Every structure is written in structure tokens, then in C-alpha cells.
Structure 1
Amino acid sequence: MESSPEMQALIRLTPEERTLMRTPGKRLNIARKRPEETPKPLDDFFTQGYPQFNFVASASPESQWKRLALFEHWSPGSHDYASARARFEAAYDDQFNTAIDGFFNHFVDFDYNPRAEAKAEFERLRQRKGWFDDGQKNLDCWYKWAEYRRARVEFFDAFRDDFSCFFGSGDDVRDWVFLCDVLRVKPTPRTIEHCKTALGSYYVNIYDLYEHVRSKEPLLYHNTVAELSVYSRDDNKLYPLESAKTTCMKFLLRKFVGVQGMRWDDWGRKLVTEEEYNRSKVIMRNLGEIARRRAGSQIRGLMRS
């Protein structure tokens, strides 16, 4: 999913322009300074390079590439296939180059759709990898558990990096003013404390806010923290506070997603009570010990043979 024209313009500002934008009384009108339409090299690769091909912009790029190869009757070992594939990959890298894109691109066997919501794509990746199965308590479950935890941390880190790129670190008042502008806070506050006070009555999910800036998806507002908590849990749109590093993220999560008396389970999938967490922890620790003993015995058997 490509960034919105406003965010592309912000990312492309020079250091001098960024300094000017952060100078009181000298804020730039980014939308007026940059072209309205953000260049889309990958879309141009399909629409301009192969005008007879029925390009579907909402589909994943990899699925569109496979359809194009069939449409043009390219065999994988042919010169035409290799040449077009090189141009396709170059255009893809130019159009989709965020930290989230980089995370998903590591999974070469996963048909990642950068135009879809990042959290939804992570859930689809989890299902594709079979990263856990409710009620399954065996060694295969333990290995999947460890693999999932590692991927989950990497996804949260990539999301944090992209979020920080959009909204800044929160150390500057203009980061907070931009956040207020995105949430359409009127009148726009001009100090950090006033921004925090105004934002206290706005309840939005952090993933929805990210997608709103990233691709201009409509932003869903909630009336209360309780309503937002139900929505976030039901749609599996939770983000752990311990992964947040910037002031803006911590403020949003503490204000909007915090749930008293609960914590993440070992899968990182849902919030559970302390008793449920401790019971699950014992089970997974026992499975991990069995797995280590089995691996050690296999190694000793290979050394004796």
C-alpha cells in the first residue's frame, strides 16, 4: 500500500525545507509545493508498459506479475521474462519501500499485498505460516511459538519505525500539531500540553490512524475508551506498550488501548488475566525444556554414528 501524496511530499522534503517547516510562522504548504499525484512506478510498469493487460490496482503486485507473465506467454527461463522481471522488481522497490514493506518482503513464499492494511497482512502471514493452533500443546507448537514471537517483534518494530516517520518522535511541538491536524482537532492547539489535552477526547485505533495517513483510508472514531478497547480486541488491532519508543506512540497507547489488570499472552495475540498468563507460561516452559533435551539427544546420536 503506497503512502498518501501528503506523506510522500513530507518524506521528500530536503533538510533545509524540513527546518523551514519547523520554524514558527514559516510552515510550508506541502500539498501546494509538491504535485498532487505521487509517482507510482509499479503501476506505470503495468499500465504504460503493457496497455493491453487488464491491470487491477487493488490486487497484490506479485499476483499481477503472474497474470502478466501468463498474458504475455513468457516462460521463466526466457530473456523477455528475465528482463521484465528486473524492471518489475525495480519499480516495486521504488514504490513500496517502507519498513513494513521491508518486513514482509523477507518472506519470499508469502504473496504480500502492500496495498492492504499492514495488520491484516500480518494476520494473513500468520495463517500462511501456521504459527499457532488453539489448544495444541506439543513440540511443534513450541517451535511455531518461538518463530511467531520473533516475527511479531520484528513486525512491531517495523510498524513503530513507519509510525515515527509519519508523526515524528513527539519531542517537538510540531509533531503534536501534525497529529492534531490529522485527527482534525479544531481549533489547532499550539503547545504540547494543549495538544495532549485536546487529544484526550479523541479515541482512535493506532493501526487505523497509521493506515489513514499511509493511504487515506477513512478514520474510524470511537466515543469512549471502552468502545475502542472492544473494537481493538475484536479486530485484533492491539499494539504492546513495551514496543513503543516515541512519546506520541506511548501517549496514544496509554490513552487509547490500555487495559487494566491484563497482559499479552505468550503468543502475543490477545490480552489475558495474570492467572491465565502464568498457567500458559508453565506449559510453554515445559515444552521448551523437552525440545532442548530432544535436540541434545539427537546431536549426541549423530556424534556417535
Structure 2
Amino acid sequence: MANTWFSLRTSLLRPVARSISIAAHCRAKSTSTGTKKVTSKTAQTVKTVETVKVKSVRAGRAVKPDCIERFFARFPEFDYQPTAPFLDEFKRLKELKEWDDKGERREKSKLQEAMVEQFTVMYGREETDLLAWQRLCNALGVNPVPKTLHECRQLVSRTHVNLVDFIERRDPGQTVQKFASEEDLRRYTHETEKYYNRNAAKRRSSLLSRLLRHII
């Protein structure tokens, strides 16, 4: 098996730009008093957006893992347990459905697509997105979180972690397990069978694709 994020920054900046545009329009039609009120409102909007941006890094973009849940929702006869490791749940599903090898490969491929998409929902999609890298640093328990893309990349790249653990992290205060060496990581990855599909990652997330390494 080949081993193997929606940019919050863009979506956050749009309300600011829109508020500034509205303020400019109002200034053309209002008195100086009205202008001051609109400008003040715009400043408040900017401040609110910046506050949300800071909180999003600290929280690690905690969201309900709906991409994984949607995969299992396709099987209403299966009693999916969302608090259990989803790869263990897949094994239970396989036993229930009695898939042959071809059926298991087909459904595992769909699950791996959902895993990649869940990573993008929780952390980001683009490898050039600073906020995405800062979320990863936050998940690793880094404090303070680096302020530059270069620093974030360096820190993450020299840390031995299993990337599937990032999407199993449900509590924003919980940090991802780190390993002392690549050998320890390799052993853990093989024992737990926690892999991403590299081709799916390449299609959907330049960030995840950059992070993946070959585990032999």
C-alpha cells in the first residue's frame, strides 16, 4: 500500500474587505458623524476577525470529524461508534459486510479519501498557508507557535509523528503523540496500519502530500 486541508485565512479576510467596502459607500452618502460611526463599526469588525484568527490557531481548528462519519453513514445497518478509533470501526464494518478482498479494497479507498478530506477540514489544504502550519504546530503542543512559514516547516519536519493521529485528535487541548526516532514511528505505523493513500493526498492536499514520508 502506498504510504502515505479550505484556507481559513482567506475566508476570514473576506468579511473585513466587505465591511471596508460598505464603509466607503456609506461615507459618500452620509454626514461626518455618520462616517465616524461606520468607521468605528469597521474597526470593530477587523478586531473581531483578528480575534477569531488567533483563536483558530490556538484551538487547532477543532471540528466534528464529519468526513469520517459520512463514510460510515453509508451503512445504516452498522452501529458506528464515533469515539472509537475509526480504523478499528472499519474492521468491524468489514466483518459485518463480509467483504471479499476486492470489496475491502474498494471501501478502504473511499475511507482513505475521507481521511484526506478530514485532514484538510481540520488543518488546511495548501502547503503555502501559514495558518495551516500553525495549526499543526499547535497540535504538536508547540508554545509559542512560530510566526513564519519557514519556522513552522522546520519544526514540523523534524518531528516524528503519525499523520493519521492528527485527525483522531478530538480534544483541542490534546497533543499528537511524538516518537523519539523514525524507527519508533515506523514500528507504530505498521502495528496500527495508520496510512494515508499518497495518490489521494496528491490530488486533494498539497500540504498533506508534502508532509508524507515513505515508511518501509
TM-score band, normalised by shorter chain:
0.5 to 0.7
Question: Is residue 2:89 matched to residue 1:118?
Answer: no
- Other-structure match for 2:96: 128
Which protein, 1 or 2, shows the higher relative CO under an 8 Å CA cutoff with sep ≥ 6? 2
Corresponding residue number in structure 1 for 2:200: 243
Q: Deviations over 1:17-38 (max 9, x none)?
A: 7766x99x9353538xx9xxx9
The answer on whether the counterparts of 2:120 and 2:205 sit within 8 Å (CA) in structure 1 is: yes
Partner amino acid, structure 2, of 1:101? E
Q: TM-score, normalised by structure 2?
A: 0.66
Ranges in structure 1 where 5+ consecutive residues have no aligned partner? 1-10, 39-94, 132-143, 261-305
Contact 2:137/2:156, CA 8 A, preserved across alignment? yes
Structure 1 pair 19/154, CA: closer, same or farther in 2 (3 Å)? Answer: farther
> Percent of pairs identical after alignment?
26
Distance change in 2, residues 1:30/1:193 (3 Å):
closer
Residues in 2 aligned to 1:18 and 1:113: alpha-carbon distance in whole angstroms: 37
Residue 283 of structure 1 corresponds to which residue in structure 2? none
Q: TM-score, normalised by structure 1?
A: 0.48
Q: Which residue of 2 aligns with 1:220?
A: 177
**Equivalence for 1:196:** 153
Shift of the 185–113 alpha-carbon distance from structure 1 to 2, 3 Å rule, reads same
Equivalence map 1:165-180=2 (5 Å): 165-170=121-126, 171-180=128-137
Distance 1:204 1:198 in 2: 12
Identify the structure with the greater helix proportion. Answer: 2
1:26 lines up with 2:50 in the alignment: yes
| CA deviation string 1:122-175 (max 9, x = no partner) | 1221232333xxxxxxxxxxxx22211211111011111111011111331111
Give the AA of the match of 1:247: S
**Aligned residue pair count:** 170
* 1-structure distance, mates of 2:180, 2:90: 28
The CA distance in 2 between the partners of 1:209 and 1:96, in whole Å, is 13
Distance 1:104 1:145, change over 3 A: same
1:232 has 2:200 as partner = no
Relative to structure 1, the CA distance from residue 232 to residue 188 in structure 2 (aligned partners, 3 Å threshold; closer, same or farther) is: same
From the superposition, tell whether residues 16 and 243 of structure 1 become closer, same or farther in structure 2 (CA, over 3 Å).
Answer: closer
Rounded to whole Å, the distance in 1 between the matches of 2:95 and 2:171 is: 25
